[in-house]
Structures are given as C-alpha cells and as structure tokens.
Structure 1
C-alpha cells in the first residue's frame, strides 16, 4: 500500500467522510482508557489519540510516522503497551492474523485494542467487487467482522464493544453524499450491521489471572480480641 495513495484518497470527499465517522468512534473510546503507553499504527493523517489521557503516545506505520515497522513485527517488548489502535491496519496487512498475534504480545494484561476495518457485507463491499482491486481503498483485504471476532477470541481477547459506521453508499462526489445523508441516519437505525466500516474494542485477558479486592466490609478487629468481663466486682453486686 502506498502512503501517498492513502493520503490522496483521505483528501477526497469520500475519504473525509470516513475520517469524520471514524474519528468520532475513537474519540469516544480512548478518553476512558488509562495506562502509560499508547500507540496508533497506520492512518496517521487521523489524530486518533488526540483525546487519549495516556501520557506516552507513539505513532507507527510501514512507510512513515515516528516508528517505521511492519504491523506483524512491532519493535516493542512483550506486555509494554496499554492501548493499541489499528485503524484499517488488518485491511492492508499481508499477515493480518500474525498482526493480531503481535498485538496480543505487546499489550499488557487488561490492555485494550481498537480496530476498524472495511465491512465486506455492505455497499462498500459491493463497490469493491465492481472496482479495480489495484485502486485504494478497494485493494484492502475486507475481512469480515465475524473473522476478526473469532481471531480475537482465539488470542484470549474479550470483545467489549462493536459498532458500525459509514452506512452511506461510497459515492465519489460530495453532492451525491449530501443527498444521501438521510440514508446514513436510516441505515444506522434499521440495518446497523450493513455499515461500510466496523469498529471493535477488545481487552486482553490472561487465563488464571484474578483481581484480589480488599475486604472493606469486614471488621478490622476480630471478636476474640475484644475485652470481656470475667468476674463480678463488689461495686457491681452493690448496685444490683
């Protein structure tokens, strides 16, 4: 995938529409996730970590960003990231399943991963079938949501939330998009699973890990440690 082609497409009316939809999804999620290290891999034109409160943030891509690497070979130690964003990273990865395995490796226990991908069961998927697969973004993998969820489950992730976006058909010009805003609203309400883009938030689980909570409701003093009278005194007998 060419970074130049990606950036040119994101500048188009359709690309700007996708950015608007996805930015809103990421903004809502990253604000409530905490930790020390967060990274966005791919789609660097979108500042998806802008509302994230994690102090150390990184950008990476195969051809740009502060860190240049392949998504299935991340230069991080195991269990070093608290949050990892993969906007359409699996769509353009030559090894999407290995990319998820690598994500599981670098995330800390209870760490979060957020994924977006093109939905093949949508008007965007239909557009891909009728388009030249050499043209961005129709050269994407278009992996199904069910497959992504299955892979996450196999890697011991718990899917926290799934949302759909981009219900409007993928027309090229802005005038066509303006006339079909009604379809966007109707699609989100009546056929939500037909959105052109899916958003998945998942948490890394570790088998056998159990959080120990303090027993706030238990008394700090045991009953056997409380003083109890052992004999009656003369003063007690006098007042009876």
Structure 2
C-alpha cells in the first residue's frame, strides 16, 4: 500500500483501517484481536457491535450476532460481518440493544469525543460491556507525530496510519467512563515501547513487550479499556417518623358509636330467679 493512499483517505478511521492491512499493522492487529478475545471471553449476550476501524482479523467472541459500523464503504468491502455505514455520533442502532460494544479509534476521529461517548452509552444495555481501543499519546509510537507538529505544523502535517486523528490518553477516557456510571474493569497495554517497520523485528521483541506491558505499561503504544455499564435502580424509602394526625380517625369513631348503640340494657334480678328489664313497658 502506498503512502498516497493513506494521505488521501477521508476519515482517520479509514487511515487506521488501511494501516492495519500493512505488514506491521497486521502483526499488531493479531495481538489486538487476541487481547479483545481474551477480555470478552466471559461476555454473555446476543448482540455485539464493532464501531470504528476494521481489523483484518476478527477477535474470537462467543457472541455470534455481530455488526460492523464504519464511516466509509471502502472499509466495509471485505468484512464478513453485517456492515453498516454511519456517523459515529449518530448510530442507527436501537437504544440499549447491544450486549458488547468494541470501539476502535472512534474517539480519535472527532474533536468532540463526549458526543460519541454518549452515543455509545445509549446503545449499550444495562450491565453491558464496552471496550475502547486507542493510541497512547505519550508513547514513542506518537513521537513521529509530535515531530511533524513541531516542524511542519498541524495544518500541513500529512498524517498516515495510526498517527491519524487526535489521540486521547487512557486516564482521561477512564474518567469519562466513570462520569457516565461505568465500572472500569481494567486497562490492557500492547504494542511495545517503540514502533518498527520490520515484522521480523516485531516478532523477536515479543518477550520484551510482555515484560514492558507489566513494568512500563505507560509507554506502550496502544491501550484497551474494559468497562461495564452500571445502572442503579432507585428504591423508595419510607420515613422512620410519622406526622401527628390533625383530623380524628373517622373509622374508629363510627365503630365506637355502633358499639354504644348495640349495648344490652341493664337488667334487675328478681328474688325468684327471673330478670326483669328495667326499660320494658
């Protein structure tokens, strides 16, 4: 794939999707698909939605009904999933219908990520899972973009591949999720410390990437955030105290009057053993 094809793409997710089809991007796509499959191993449901960039290799999910949402038709040309072309801030998906949502680089494709976050929150059912994939802006992978911004400027910079879009830090995305009421299960880091254009070198550095993901996780190139949507159901609580009654209880007064009217009149015992009613005429 030529660099001209990357530069003339219309959307950042299209740039990243094409980069995942390069030899180096394909290696990272395999690691990313394995990470997503491991995190979603305990996810249960009927509908899964993948929004954003398209991976050449699908993650292994237990959920069979899967839908791929992308910004362009070119990205959906080779996907075997049910394909939908739409904007990320207005998804044509029913509210609270997805059990699992995987968002690949969707927050990097807009200057207003909060709108996309609210749209993702809308389609996820209560207790559903969301996984957000992004590029770490403080890693060595992003050093090339920082240099281009310094020497060429943001307007003249020819972004290519994973450098496209506005990268969001993982801790910032975690704060946004917690504000929306999500329980963050964990953050996975992958990609290694520095990028390389040689797939063989990337394969040889696999043990080093495993060690650095535990001790130098903040310098990894990519991250995956796993979160669960929590919905609290309000329960009505009765007050422990009671207000004094300002109006007497009419029911008790009626019962008392009926008891008084039905009382047997007093009687007097005669010497012969007979009782005589005093009110009898």
TM-score between the two structures when normalised by the length of structure 1:
0.78
Displacement of 1:181: 4.3
Match of 2:144 among 127, 140, 147: 127
> Is the Cα contact below 8 Å between 1:6 and 1:137 reproduced in 2?
yes
Compared CA separation, residues 63 and 193, structure 1 to 2 (3 A): same
Displacement of 1:21: 1.9
- Does the alignment pair 1:73 with 2:90? yes
The residue that corresponds to 1:190 in the other structure is 215
Distance 2:126 2:35 in 1: 23
Distance 1:57 1:177 in 2: 31
Match of 1:24 among 30, 34, 41: 34
What residue ranges of structure 1 are gaps of 5+ in the alignment? 211-240
Distance 1:151 1:4 in 2: 25
Match of 2:65 among 38, 49, 56: 56
Displacement of 1:150: 0.9
Q: CA offsets, 1:3-43, max 9 Å, x none?
A: 66444422323212321221111111223211121111122
Displacement of 1:116: 0.8
> Is the Cα contact below 8 Å between 1:38 and 1:82 reproduced in 2?
yes
Match of 1:98 among 102, 107, 115: 115
Distance 1:19 1:200 in 2: 16
Distance 1:17 1:146 in 2: 26
The residue that corresponds to 2:259 in the other structure is none
Compared CA separation, residues 181 and 81, structure 1 to 2 (3 A): closer
Q: CA offsets, 1:186-240, max 9 Å, x none?
A: 4224212211111101111113369xxxxxxxxxxxxxxxxxxxxxxxxxxxxxx
Q: What is the Cα-based RMSD across aligned positions, in Å?
A: 2.3
Distance 1:165 1:104 in 2: 25
Q: 2:163 aligns to what SS in structure 1?
A: coil
Compared CA separation, residues 206 and 88, structure 1 to 2 (3 A): same
> Is the Cα contact below 8 Å between 2:30 and 2:57 reproduced in 1?
no
Match of 1:110 among 107, 127, 133: 127
Distance 2:12 2:223 in 1: 23
- Does the alignment pair 1:208 with 2:218? no
Distance 2:22 2:56 in 1: 14
Match of 2:168 among 131, 135, 143: 143
Count of residues in correspondence between the two structures: 209
Displacement of 1:105: 0.7
> Runs of at least 4 residues of structure 1 off by over 6 A?
none
What residue ranges of structure 2 are gaps of 5+ in the alignment? 1-10, 77-82, 149-156, 236-281
> Is the Cα contact below 8 Å between 1:23 and 1:46 reproduced in 2?
no
> Is the Cα contact below 8 Å between 2:20 and 2:56 reproduced in 1?
no
Match of 1:33 among 22, 26, 43: 43
